[in-house]
Homo-oligomer: A and B are copies of this chain.
């Protein structure tokens, strides 16, 4: 581990050292527009953002070409940014903007977006709603189950999410109208770096070299639309109306201190096939990452009450590592490209405190959630806001966060 992780490292940027998400040990990449300015590459530091071009470290936007360069280019940039922002370097406040004054964009042009389903407790909880005695399908512990998502409607944190209209099953036949069972899903996302040529799979031992960074991902889901449409080809309009991501790319370099062994398997679980199995990945391919989801209703907001924490979960509940997902995804020759986005699927914990969607928390809408404002919720109402957060912690390391992933529900079109 290089000195950019040194816990004693401090920054001249005011407030950065005590910042929960963006101390100098993090240095995530993003694309921002300052007020009245055009989109450009930046690095978050405390409540501020460093304009890389102003600092003489121009990176073209969107970041696809930079992500394509892989770890060496990221490490070099990280070392230079760390040196510029460290205590002892000449303070250059003119290179900084307040994040609150900036607009964040998607960091890269997303070619394809794939969503996996490797949060095993979510798969069990969702499966139990349909198959109480046999919630996990036979393939689950052999294969990182995933599907293609919709890339065009992936939006950065803060973008309003309009409640979708769609077909909802009714006893008298389907009717078309606003989704009544609108839900969120708390997921970890990651960005593809160099990628592979079509027909040339990425071996699992090299898969981590193709992961350029991480984000939070809210896979908004209209359960009623989804339930009626999804047979036999899987989710479509119940998901494609919008997917929110946190806009900062948290690099593998920043997460190095938070690597942890992959061990979600129970005794008796099958050993993964060789194309999915790498000893180094098993030793350090998972992440020690707390994941949270909060609900803010208009009433909580008006009364000045705290957001309601729905979920406290952890990335250790992922049954497969990101490297295994990359190896599997490309194992048939499918080409992954720089800037592709991959979601893990809903990262639920084993019990209600860690359930990472309302479908799970409310047992399919049967057990409403009670809020301090006196309200209840089964599914999301107009004006409700979901905030996702992630925090990497470990003894002896400075904790870092991902920054928020926020979306507010606006009313359906009449």
Contact A162 B333, CB 8 Å, known A147-B233, A176-B275, A201-B413: yes
Interface residue A38 (Cβ < 8 Å from any Cβ of B):
no
> Contact residue range for chain A?
35 or more
Contact indicator B145/A233 (Cβ below 8 Å): yes
Give the complex CA separation of A78 and B270 in angstroms. Answer: 60
Which one of B145, B166, B232 lies within 8 Å of A332 (CB-CB)?
A: B166
A273 within 8 A of B: yes
Contact between chains at A228 and B162 (CB < 8 Å): no
Minimum C-beta distance from A174 to chain B (A): 5
CB neighbors of B among A30-57 (8 A): none
A242-B198 contact given A236-B148, A329-B237, CB 8 Å threshold: yes
Q: Are B273 and A231 in contact (CB under 8 A)?
A: no
**B142 adjacent to A167 (CB under 8 Å):** yes
- Which of B137, B175, B235 has a CB less than 8 Å from the CB of A273? B175
Return the contact of A117 from the options B142, B167, B233, B413 (Cβ within 8 A).
Answer: B233
| Interchain CB contact (< 8 A) of A137 among B143, B222, B232 | B232
Does any Cβ of B come within 8 Å of A146's Cβ?
yes
A55 and B49 CA atoms in complex are apart in Å by 50
Binary contact readout A219-249 vs B (1 if CB under 8 angstroms, 0 otherwise): 0001001001111111111101110000000
Q: Contact check, A176 vs B145: say whether CB atoms are below 8 A apart.
A: no
A148 to B336, CA, bound (A): 16
In angstroms, Cα B127 to Cα A38, docked, is: 52
Q: Which residues of the partner chain B approach A151 to less than 8 Å between Cβ atoms?
A: 111-112, 151
Residue of B139, B164, B175, B236 near A231 (CB, 8 A) is B139
B164 to A222, Cβ gap below 8 A? Answer: no
A149 at the interface (CB under 8 A from B): yes
B152 adjacent to A198 (CB under 8 Å): yes
Would B234 and A334 count as touching, CB distance under 8 A? no
Contact of A176 among B146, B164, B228, B274 (CB under 8 A): B274
Question: Contact at B139–A229, with CB atoms within 8 Å?
Answer: yes
A229 contact set on B, CB distance < 8 A: 139, 143, 145
Interface residues of A in 124-175 (CB under 8 A from B): 127, 137, 139, 142-143, 145-153, 155, 162, 164-167, 173-175
A233 touches B167 (CB 8 A): no
Q: Which of B147, B167, B232, B335 interacts with A153 by CB under 8 Å?
A: B335
Which chain B residue shows the least CB distance to A127? B232
- Chain B: CB-nearest residue to A163: B333
A82 within 8 A of B: no
The answer to whether B150 touches A148 (Cβ under 8 A) is: yes
Asked if residues A332 and B241 are in contact (CB atoms below 8 Å), the reply is yes
In the complex, whether A363 has a CB less than 8 A from a CB of chain B is no
Contact A232 B234 (CB under 8 A): yes
- CB of A340 closer than 8 Å to a CB of B: yes
Q: Which residues in B have their C-beta under 8 angstroms from that of A240?
A: 148, 332, 334
B-contact bits for A259-280, CB 8 A (1 contact / 0 none): 0000000000010011100000
Interface positions of A (Cβ within 8 A of B) = 111-112, 117, 127, 137, 139, 142-143, 145-153, 155, 162, 164-167, 173-176, 198-201, 222, 225, 228-238, 240-242, 270, 273-275, 328-329, 331-337, 340, 413
Subset of 15 A-B contacts with CB under 8 Å: A111-B111, A142-B174, A145-B232, A145-B236, A146-B233, A146-B236, A148-B150, A153-B334, A162-B333, A165-B201, A166-B332, A174-B273, A176-B273, A237-B334, A238-B332
